[in-house]
Copies of this chain bind each other. A is one copy, B any other.
Amino acid sequence: MSDDISARLGRLSPEIQAMMGVYALYWKLEESFDSIETDLSHQECHMLIKLDAPKRMGVLAADMLTVPSTITATADALEQTGYLTRQRDPEDRRAWLLVLTEQGEEARNMLVTTAGELFRSASGLNSDETAEFARLARKIRDNIVKTGIPEGLKKCDS
């Protein structure tokens, strides 16, 4: 079937092969997201998944590699539909902590579960391969977040 594709990819550098895999997976996952959640945008899903604990908006911006105004818009949407609330950070009253409501927690659990299934079916990896891929992915993410987050934001992530 796709032997031609595979054969030609074999000639490319590992980095490009890795990138093409990452792009294909990203695109496929984004496409799949459409089919499960009608009332949440992609960005809203991403934010929900990131909110495993209350976080400051600036931290989320760094974490999601986007700008504050995008976080504001997404948080507005999630707040209006009852998935989260804004609470002033007691340690710095300029900052907001985004805190999931019960409804938000439920939605997040569903999303995390569904996303896991999507990954499994999109990737086609067995559990050993998934574990190995996850290990490397975690390492990559650590490297990116480490080099991407401005110093001042890191302290408030927990």
Mostly, the A contact residues are helix
In the complex, which range does the number of interface residues on chain A fall in?
35 or more
Q: Is A38 an interface residue (CB 8 A)?
A: no
Residue contact A141 to B25, C-beta cutoff 8 Å: yes
- Chain B residues within an 8 Å CB radius of A154: 1-2
Residue contact B31 to A65, C-beta cutoff 8 Å: yes
**A15 with B115, Cβ < 8 A, contacts A136-B133, A143-B122, A143-B123 known:** yes
How many copies, total?
2
Q: Is A88 an interface residue (CB 8 A)?
A: no
Residue contact B125 to A140, C-beta cutoff 8 Å: yes
Distance of A122 from chain B, by nearest CB (Å): 6
Q: Give the residue of B13, B140, B158 whose beta carbon is less than 8 angstroms from that of A116.
A: B13
- Chain B residues within an 8 Å CB radius of A49: 16, 20
Residue contact B148 to A2, C-beta cutoff 8 Å: no
| Interfacial residues of chain A within 108-150, with CB under 8 A of chain B in the complex | 112, 115-117, 119-120, 122-125, 127, 129-134, 136-149
Residue contact B19 to A115, C-beta cutoff 8 Å: yes
Residue contact B141 to A136, C-beta cutoff 8 Å: no
Q: Give the residue of B15, B64, B137, B138 whose beta carbon is less than 8 angstroms from that of A120.
A: B15
Distance of A114 from chain B, by nearest CB (Å): 10
